């Protein structure tokens, strides 16, 4: 295992000491600057309407300074009236002006205050509402999936899991990069900014309540530390980790991972297979791609299949899961299928935008 020394690990942890925080997917709301601009325009419109009303009935008002009310005096009166300042130097004296104040200017004053005070309250309560939303989300979170790392591997893993029916609301992404988490929340996932090797970060992701944990970090040593921390917090969750070097896979399993995928070796084997048999490489590539052509799935045995052999089912059975054992379709220990068995089968899904392997030309040597 190629692990750095303890000092190097400590320095790496210090470099990633960022303020871990929860980021929920943003709701489709209007740009805040545009909202403020709209409300400001509405307030100015109300102010202008009040000014013209007063100026149109200027004869019904009295200015203590010179007795007459011009346009500037009308704008001044509208401003101090709508803002509830009311100095009293300009007052309505005629019955028509007073009636206009009661029926028109007073409702405009209320509307003006609602626009300004509403904008202020919304800004002040935004943090409180976000905290309340996060607390409510945290209280209802159960049996979710935590994905550590939102690179190519983590993103593909999420897409594959969600294609089987998992809701995006049940996925939490943990990554030390704020930009990466912003990208995850933009796609509808909840995100935690922080170093997943630290237990407090994983606790923020409610790892102790998670059902599945996917570890797709960029470094193998980081994957080991994350696996150890996650297994310590959750003894029952299924942990799947990816490593670059095959020699590090046993250490990941010793750290608590249920399954370890060696990305470099898997890519190398696919490359070699594609060279030896382009057609076989195309089939393997199609099996890896979720949602089109051929897919490999796990499903329970139905009653009609009980007592039959794997080859007698309608689907192409690859393996039989019996208890904690995975048996090949031709393993004599399988015998006949039982109701408690689960089947690993290859099925053809609904054709999508991609072309099925049997319809694509085989590359020439």
Predicted confidence at residue 351, as pLDDT, reads 52
Question: pLDDT tens, 60-108?
Answer: 888 887 778 888 888 888 888 887 777 777 878 887 887 888 788 888 8
Both tokens of 280, joined, read: 């076989």
Position 120 scores a pLDDT of: 67
Residue pair 147/157 in contact (Cβ under 8 Å)? The answer is yes
Residue 115 tokens, joined:
């626009």
Whole-model pTM: value is 0.57
Q: How far apart, in whole angstroms, are the C-alpha atoms of residue 153 and residue 158? A: 9
Give the max Cα distance, the chain. Answer: 110
Helices within the chain (DSSP H only): 6-15, 32-56, 71-82, 95-100, 106-140, 152-163, 178-186, 199-204, 220-233, 249-255, 263-276, 278-288
Which pLDDT score is estimated for 127? 63
Place of tokens 């996925």: 171
CA distances for 58 relative to 105, 118, 148, angstroms: 14, 32, 70
> What phi and psi, each to the nearest 5 degrees, are found at residue 214?
-110, 125
| Gyration radius of the chain over CA positions | 33
Name residue 298's beta-bridge partners: 344
| CB-count burial class (<10 Å; 0-12, 13-18, 19+) for 205 | buried
For residue range 164-211, what is the model confidence (pLDDT) as tens digits?
778 888 899 999 998 999 899 888 898 899 999 999 999 988 999 999
Helix (H), strand (E) at residue 172: strand 171-175
Instruction: Provide the token pair at 149.
Output: 């790392």
Q: What digits encode the pLDDT tens for the residues 225-261?
A: 999 999 999 999 999 999 888 888 899 999 999 999 8
Which pLDDT belongs to residue 352? Answer: 45
- Cβ atoms 258, 238 nearer than 8 A: yes
Q: Do 212 and 200 meet the contact criterion of CB atoms below 8 Å apart?
A: no
For 40-71, the pLDDT digits (tens) are 788 888 889 888 988 888 888 888 877 788 88
Q: Please, what sign has the CA dihedral across residues 308, 313, 316, 317?
A: negative
DSSP state of 314: S
Exposure string of 122-148, with b = 16+ CB inside 10 Å and e = fewer, is: eeeeeeeeeeeebeebeeebeebbbbb
Show the tokens assigned to 62: 């009295």
**Cα angle at 228 between 22 and 162, to 5 degrees?**
50
Paired sense of beta strands 316-322 and 259-262, if any: unpaired
Assess contact for 354 and 329: CB atoms under 8 A.
Answer: no
């Amino acid at each position: 295992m190629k692990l750095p020394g303890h000092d190097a690990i400590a320095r790496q942890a210090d470099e990633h000491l960022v303020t871990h925080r929860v980021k929920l997917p943003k709701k489709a709301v209007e740009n805040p600057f545009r909202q403020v601009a709209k409300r400001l325009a509405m307030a100015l419109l109300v102010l202008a309407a009040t000014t013209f009303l007063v100026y149109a009935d200027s004869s019904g008002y009295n200015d203590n300074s010179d007795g007459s009310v011009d346009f500037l005096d009308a704008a001044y009166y509208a401003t101090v009236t709508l803002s509830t300042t009311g100095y009293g130097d300009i007052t309505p004296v005629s019955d028509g002006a007073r009636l206009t104040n009661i029926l028109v200017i007073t409702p405009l004053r209320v509307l003006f205050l609602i626009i300004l005070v509403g904008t202020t309250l919304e800004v002040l309560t935004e943090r409180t509402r976000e905290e309340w939303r996060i607390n409510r989300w945290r209280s209802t979170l159960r049996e979710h999936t935590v994905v550590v790392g939102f690179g190519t591997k983590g993103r593909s893993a999420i897409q594959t899991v969600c294609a089987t029916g998992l809701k995006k609301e049940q996925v939490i992404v943990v990554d030390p990069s704020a930009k990466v988490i912003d990208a995850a929340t933009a796609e509808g996932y909840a995100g935690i900014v922080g170093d997943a090797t630290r237990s407090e970060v994983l606790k923020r992701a409610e790892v102790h309540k998670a059902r599945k944990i996917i570890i797709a970090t960029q470094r193998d040593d980081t994957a080991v530390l994350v696996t150890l921390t996650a297994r310590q917090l959750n003894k029952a969750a299924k942990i799947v980790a990816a490593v670059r070097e095959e020699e590090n896979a046993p250490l990941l399993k010793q750290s608590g991972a249920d399954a370890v995928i060696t990305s470099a070796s898997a890519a190398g084997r696919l490359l070699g297979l594609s060279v030896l048999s382009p057609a076989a490489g195309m089939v393997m590539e199609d099996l890896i791609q979720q949602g089109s052509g051929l897919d490999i799935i796990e499903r329970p045995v139905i009653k009609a299949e009980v007592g039959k052999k794997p080859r007698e089912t309608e689907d192409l059975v690859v393996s039989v899961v019996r208890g904690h054992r995975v048996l090949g379709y031709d393993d004599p220990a399988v015998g006949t299928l039982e109701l408690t068995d689960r089947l690993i089968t290859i099925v053809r899904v609904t054709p999508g935008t991609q072309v099925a392997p049997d319809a694509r030309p085989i590359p020439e040597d």
